[in-house]
Chain A
Amino acid sequence: MLLAACWLSFALLSPAQTDTNVLSVTAPVGVVLKAGATAEVKLKLALRAGYHVNSNTPSDKYLIPLRLTWNPGPAQVEDVVFPKPQMEKVAFSPNPLSVFTGQFELTTRFKVPATAAPGPSALIGKLRYQACNDRMCLTPKNLDVAMQVDIVR
């Protein structure tokens, strides 16, 4: 019976690889940027329970840091601000790792040139991350981030 159950389980199981979409990003809507001014824009990130991503300052030289980059657009990036990383103990590492878990925000400070043309526009960015749980790591991912903005005088 045990063997039969095992075989049944084999038959029912999908491929061994896990669902790898563990991070979601929510960009704000209705962003208004004033020409000649600076503005902070926050992206909300939510990571699946049990997973972490390396922080922007990982604990080991081989680890892949969290990166947010923006394409050239109507606003210039002054800075990307990451939250304070958590130092988390995971089963596979003797030392705590610098990571982010759960929900957190990334803030980008944009400077809008005074000469920016008013009207609707878009900011396009890319989030690179590498996530693990306590047993496995997912291959690094690049997530596109798009945000509609309105440039005003």
Chain B
Amino acid sequence: METGGFPTLSNKSIFGKSVFGVLSIAAVAVGLAACSSSPKRASAKDRKAAPDFALKDATGATVKLSNLKGKVVLLNFWATWCGPCKVEIPWFIEFQQTYKDRNFTVVGVSMDDDGWASVKPYVTEKKINYRIVIGDDMLAKVYGGVESLPTTFVIDRFGRIASSHVGLISKKQYENEIQRLLEVTADDSNRSVGLFAPGGLLAFVRAPFARAN
């Protein structure tokens, strides 16, 4: 009697192999989908230190990245001519406002060739409430050669790059990452693993000993 395609004892091993094969392909496909687009994330133990820099902001004050240790930093390379960057800026303004009292800050690195001439009016026009500096080729190089904008690095409290994104992603995705990093304390810093897809959080394996502030 036909079993309608359901496995019988006699084809169980074939079914098992098929299922394994299908699952393997699916897992690789999902893995690639999750990881092969621009977002790149590292588990806490594999994070690399964000290259330090010291650049002047619009007021002439120095922004030194290493002085921001203890804060979660969203480091956004952008430019006034970049349309997708324009979409993100209101989100970052909101993040700065919402999380500034929880040891979070946004730093914008403008890659405009003409520097403050374009950037100052833009910052005023968009009412940007976070610190902006003017980047250059050298800074772009140490951050992996920033040739596409926006390029954004989410930096943990310990000055390490937790994730990087090239191109426009969702506000929710940034917010998830920020909130997750804000929850991690010094003791937890090496113990959490995140798995993300371009559309958002795919899975988050939180170490049992990780604790919120």
A29 an interface residue at 8 Å Cβ cutoff? no
Check B35 against A6 for contact (C-beta < 8 Å). Answer: yes
Q: How large is the interface on B (under 10, 10 to 19, 20 to 34, 35 or more residues)?
A: 35 or more
CA distance A138 to B151 in the complex (A): 11
* Binary A-proximity of B121-163 (CB < 8 A = 1, otherwise 0): 0100000000000000000000011111111000000000000
B35 and A9: CB pair below 8 A? yes
- Tell me if B82 is interfacial: C-beta within 8 Å of chain A: yes
B77's closest neighbor in chain A, by CB? A139
A74 CA / B122 CA spacing, docked (Å): 42
22 of the cross-chain contacts (CB-CB < 8 Å) are: A2-B30, A2-B31, A2-B34, A2-B203, A5-B32, A6-B34, A8-B31, A13-B36, A16-B38, A17-B146, A17-B151, A18-B147, A62-B81, A62-B122, A92-B168, A93-B86, A136-B84, A137-B82, A137-B85, A137-B149, A138-B148, A139-B147
In the assembled complex, the Cα of A85 lies from the Cα of B147 at a distance in Å of 25
Contacts known (A5-B28, A8-B28, A139-B111); A13 close to B35, Cβ less than 8 A:
yes
Question: How far is A8 from B28 in the complex, measured between Cα atoms in Å?
Answer: 9
Residues in chain B near residue A97, CB distance under 8 A = 83
Establish whether residues A18 and B166, one from each chain, have CB atoms under 8 Å apart when the complex forms. yes
Further pairs besides A2-B203, A63-B83: 20, Cβ < 8 Å: A1-B23, A2-B27, A2-B34, A3-B195, A5-B30, A9-B31, A9-B35, A10-B35, A17-B145, A17-B148, A62-B118, A63-B81, A64-B81, A92-B86, A130-B81, A135-B168, A137-B82, A137-B83, A137-B149, A138-B147
A28 interfacial contact with B, CB 8 Å? no
Q: Which of B32, B150, B165 contacts A9 (CB 8 A)?
A: B32
- Is B40 a contact partner of A10 (Cβ separation < 8 A)? yes
A17 touches B166 (CB 8 A): yes
Flag if B27 contacts A136 (CB, 8 Å).
no
For the residues of B in contact with A, the DSSP-based class is mixed
Q: Identify whether the interface residues of A are mostly helix, strand, loop, or mixed.
A: loop
Q: Which residues of B contact A (CB under 8 A)?
A: 23-24, 27-28, 30-32, 34-36, 38, 40, 79-87, 111, 113, 118, 122, 144-151, 164-168, 193, 195, 203, 205
Query: Residues of A contacting B36 with CB < 8 Å?
Result: 9, 13
* A140 interfacial by beta-carbon distance below 8 Å: yes
Q: Which residue of B lies closest to A130 (CB)?
A: B81
Complex CA–CA separation, A21 to B173 (angstroms): 29
B168 and A136 contacting across the interface, CB-CB below 8 Å: yes
- B85 nearest in chain A by CB position: A137
* Chain B residue with the shortest CB-CB distance to A131: B148
Quick one: which of A52-104 are within 8 Å of B by CB?
62-64, 90-93, 97
The closest CB in chain B to the CB of A139 belongs to: B147
How many chain-A residues does the 8 Å CB contact rule pick out?
33
Q: Is A15 an interface residue (CB 8 A)?
A: yes
Query: Are B144 and A90 in touch, CB under 8 angstroms?
Result: no
Question: Which residue of chain A is the closest to B30 with respect to CB atoms?
Answer: A2
Residue A136 contacts which of B32, B111, B144, B167 (CB distance < 8 angstroms)? Answer: B167
A134 to B31, CA, bound (A): 24
For residue B23, which residues in chain A have a CB less than 8 angstroms away from its CB?
Answer: 1
Sorted nearest first, the 10 A-B pairs with minimum C-beta distance are A5-B31, A136-B167, A135-B167, A9-B35, A1-B27, A6-B31, A62-B80, A137-B82, A92-B84, A136-B148
- Cβ contacts under 8 Å, A17 to chain B: 144-148, 151, 166
